[in-house]
Amino acid sequence: MRKEFGIFTLLIVMLVCFTSVGMAAPLTNYSVGSFAVDLTARDYHTDVKAAGQDLSAGKYNFDAGFTAGLGNGFAVQYNYVNADTGSIAMAKSTAKANITMNEYNLLYRPNVNMAYFIGGVTGKASANAVSFKDSYGVGSKTYAQFGVVGSQLIGDKVTAYGQLSGGKDIFGWKAGLSYALTNNCDVNFDYTDYKLRSIAVSGASTEVDPKGFGLGLTVKF
């Protein structure tokens, strides 16, 4: 059901691309009223380490986010990451891990090619043995982070972009290319890698590492 909703939303966003007016490429204009919505289909490969157990699997999921300009070079941003591993075959059962991230940032852009940000990320991890319906537990942790994002026009309609972020027990990076479909809509292709450590799941310190290639759209208003 979640995947069908994501596909439906992606189709709606594509329709908006060709019918609305606005600006294009990863949001570089932080003036009051500027707004961008991102939706990405990502092929996640997620590693989970806890209590001497290693789980590793891949699955397609949908990520989403938005950025809103506040003026004077400032903007706020929210991103949602869904890195569900799907079912993983084990010796006596089938395991499944659910990883989600909610990210909140305040950005400042001193020039058109670069922005700095500070914010927080809440990572949530849960795991269970699907075959026996035994829950291994669930846990979450909130991290403080800071980082930098940069973009550079490398062609008539192509922009290269990257992001680097970190904090205590958290690290992430992203690199990709964006192609302007219209004046207000871009298609993006990128690779991202997150590392979150010390999430307490049923008393066990858990480390998660979701990473993968993504294809998505950015719509700007």
pLDDT tens digit sequence for 150-205: 999 999 999 999 999 999 999 999 999 999 999 889 999 999 999 999 888 777 78
Could you tell me if 43 and 34 are in contact, meaning their C-beta atoms sit under 8 angstroms apart?
A: no
Dihedral sign computed on CA atoms, order 213, 26, 122, 82: negative
- Other beta carbons within 10 Å of 27: 26
Q: Where are the beta strands (DSSP E) in 72-182?
A: 74-82, 87-89, 94-111, 114-129, 134-153, 158-167, 170-182
**More reliable by pLDDT, 53 or 69:** 69
Residue-wise pLDDT tens digits, 69-99:
999 999 999 999 998 776 665 555 566 778 8
pLDDT category of residue 147 using cuts at 50, 70 and 90? very high
**CA distance linking residue 2 with residue 5, whole number of Å:** 5
pTM attached to this predicted model: 0.82
**CA distance linking residue 60 with residue 212, whole number of Å:** 9
According to DSSP, the β-strands at 134-153 and 87-89 are: unpaired
Q: Could you tell me which of 203, 204, 197, 218 has the C-alpha nearest to residue 99?
A: 197
Could you tell me if 11 and 3 are in contact, meaning their C-beta atoms sit under 8 angstroms apart?
A: no
Backbone angles phi, psi at 28, to 5 degrees: -115, -10
- Beta bridge partners, 179, equal 158, 187
Residue 117 tokens, joined: 């940000």
Residue 119 tokens, joined: 């914010």
**CA distance linking residue 6 with residue 61, whole number of Å:** 9
The domain segmentation of the chain, as residue ranges, is 2-220
- Beta bridge partners, 191, equal 175, 213
Domain range 2-220, CATH architecture: Beta Barrel (2.40)
**CA distance linking residue 176 with residue 174, whole number of Å:** 7
